[in-house]
């Protein structure tokens, strides 16, 4: 017997249940979709927030770098001012002074600040800071440079090269300085026209030289000339000269120990005693007064500056004069040798010129003789330089 299926009324009662399931499923799906959208919004919000924080970190890092760079620039400018101030007094600048007055607690930035200051000095003032050599390194025996081991085979400690003290030195080419020192007739006329009247005989009025370099407002010319003479006497005496020999040579040049050096209008004194000037050169590092008999390995013992009343010959024999560290780094042996050689050759040229004036030869013959004399002067100059080098006891060194 066939079983009857559900009636229409029964099917109609079941259909609403299916629709309820669908509505519930759709409701749950909507909630999940909404939740997923909220999660996506949160992720986007977090992404934008992270990106904003990252940009802020970059901005703050760049700001810190800019502040740090500006601070280094300020310190470099401070170092330039300090270097110019100490150079005006002709005293060396010590690294301890740089750390104290410029770097303060940030001493690790010395190299960076030093290089920035060097660029400023070279670009603005055509000068640079140069470290002076230590006296122990400069005066060590060159022949013993390769033998740094003692009898036990232990390596000796080499002398330090640098002294951690600095001076300012010009980087201008020598040809530029020579051209700036030449007299220009047009410039000289302008200086005379714009200057005071000739009737005013005030000694404080600067003289007119007609050159770009104003010698009246530059270094003391008489004192500078005496410095080069003293350095030359030391050099040609084997790089050292006794107290008595130096005094005797200066006396033959009409510069007695009791004499004075004239100062220009920029100085506060009209003249300076010779002994006072020599003591000043010692303080500035141009020359050293050394007691004889000291152990070179232990370093020299610097003597005090000569007193104005010093007349004891035995005491004078106990000291000798040598170049200081500043003279080696600022002037150099080659420059002093050229100074001496050119001076001697110029005297010879003057004597030859006087002889030519007395002769009555034709122009062509005089030109030929002038060419031969010029060649001869160059040969004499080279010969003179070699003689000075032999007298010094070794190769002439340039500035260090």
- Cβ distance 333 to 397 under 8 Å? yes
Q: Is the pLDDT of residue 153 over 80?
A: no
**Across 131-135, 234-238, 295-299, which has the greatest mean pLDDT?**
234-238
Distance CA 377, CA 64 (A): 65
Q: 262 φ, ψ to 5°?
A: -70, 140
Architecture of domain 220-293+317-331: Orthogonal Bundle (1.10)
Q: Which residues contact 26 (CB under 8 A, 6 or more apart)?
A: none
Distance CA 334, CA 371 (A): 27
Q: Return the higher-pLDDT residue of 65 and 167.
A: 167
pLDDT digits (tens, 9 = 90+) for 188-247: 888 788 766 655 555 556 677 788 887 766 667 889 999 999 999 999 999 999 999 999
The reported pLDDT for the residue numbered 23 is 53
Confidence tier at 400 by pLDDT (50, 70, 90): confident
- Cβ distance 346 to 250 under 8 Å? no
pLDDT digits (tens, 9 = 90+) for 96-116: 999 999 998 888 999 999 999
- Cβ distance 283 to 250 under 8 Å? no
Spatial CA neighbour of 240 closest among 290, 279, 286: 290
Sign for the pseudo-dihedral over CA of 198, 202, 203, 204: negative
The reported pLDDT for the residue numbered 399 is 86
Spatial CA neighbour of 395 closest among 322, 320, 332, 327: 332
Q: For the residues 371-392, what does the mean pLDDT come to? A: 85
Same fold, 63-137+162-170 and 220-293+317-331: yes
Q: Return the higher-pLDDT residue of 63 and 291.
A: 291
The reported pLDDT for the residue numbered 144 is 45
Please name the residue ranges forming H helices in the chain: 8-88, 95-98, 110-120, 135-138, 174-181, 185-194, 221-236, 243-252, 274-284, 313-317, 325-330, 333-358, 363-392
CATH number of 63-137+162-170: 1.10.10.1200
Distance CA 332, CA 323 (A): 10
Burial of 173 (0-12, 13-18, 19+ CB in 10 A): exposed
For the entire predicted model, the pTM comes to 0.70
**Mean pLDDT computed over every residue of the chain:** 77
Q: In the chain, where are the structural domains located?
A: 63-137+162-170, 220-293+317-331, 333-399
Q: Is the pLDDT of residue 389 over 50?
A: yes
| Range 344-372 burial, b when 16+ CB lie within 10 A, else e | ebeeebeeeeeeeeeeeeeeeeeeeeeee
The reported pLDDT for the residue numbered 149 is 46
Check residue 307 and report its DSSP letter. P
Q: Return the higher-pLDDT residue of 63 and 270.
A: 270
Q: Is the pLDDT of residue 15 over 50?
A: yes
């Amino acid at each position: 017997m066939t079983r009857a299926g559900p009636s229409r009324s029964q099917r109609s009662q079941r259909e609403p249940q299916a629709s309820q399931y669908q509505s519930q499923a759709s409701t749950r799906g909507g909630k999940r979709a909404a939740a997923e959208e909220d999660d996506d919004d949160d992720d986007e919000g977090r992404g934008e927030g992270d990106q904003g924080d990252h940009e802020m970190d970059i901005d703050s890092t760049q700001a810190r770098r800019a502040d740090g760079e500006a601070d280094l620039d300020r310190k470099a400018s401070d170092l330039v001012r300090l270097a110019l101030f100490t150079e005006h007094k002709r005293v060396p600048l010590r690294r301890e002074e740089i750390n104290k007055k410029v770097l303060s607690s940030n001493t690790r930035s010395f190299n960076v600040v030093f290089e920035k200051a060097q660029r400023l000095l070279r670009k603005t003032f055509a000068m640079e800071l140069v470290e002076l050599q230590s006296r122990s390194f400069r005066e060590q025996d060159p022949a013993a440079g390769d033998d740094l081991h003692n009898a036990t085979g232990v390596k000796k400690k080499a002398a330090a090269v640098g002294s951690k003290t600095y001076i300012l030195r010009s980087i201008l080419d020598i040809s530029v300085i020579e051209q700036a020192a030449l007299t220009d007739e047009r410039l000289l006329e302008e200086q005379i026209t714009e200057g005071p009247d000739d009737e005013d005989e005030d000694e404080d009025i600067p003289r007119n030289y007609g050159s770009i370099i104003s010698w009246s407002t530059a270094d003391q010319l008489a004192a500078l000339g005496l410095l080069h003479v003293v350095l030359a006497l030391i050099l040609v005496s084997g790089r050292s000269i006794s107290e008595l020999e130096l005094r005797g040579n200066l006396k033959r040049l009409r510069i007695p120990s009791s004499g004075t050096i004239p100062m220009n209008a920029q100085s506060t004194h009209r003249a300076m005693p010779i002994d006072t000037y020599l003591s000043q050169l010692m303080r500035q590092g141009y020359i050293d007064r050394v007691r004889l008999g000291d152990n070179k390995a232990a370093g020299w013992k610097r003597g005090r500056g000569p007193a104005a009343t010093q007349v004891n010959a035995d005491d004078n024999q106990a000291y000798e004069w040598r170049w200081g560290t500043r003279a080696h780094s600022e002037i150099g042996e080659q420059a002093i040798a050229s100074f001496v050689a050119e001076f001697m050759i110029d005297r010879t040229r003057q004597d030859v010129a006087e002889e030519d004036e007395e002769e009555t030869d034709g122009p062509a013959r005089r030109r030929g003789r002038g060419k031969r004399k010029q060649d001869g002067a160059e040969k004499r100059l080279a010969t003179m330089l070699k003689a000075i080098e032999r007298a010094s006891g070794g190769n002439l060194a340039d500035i260090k």
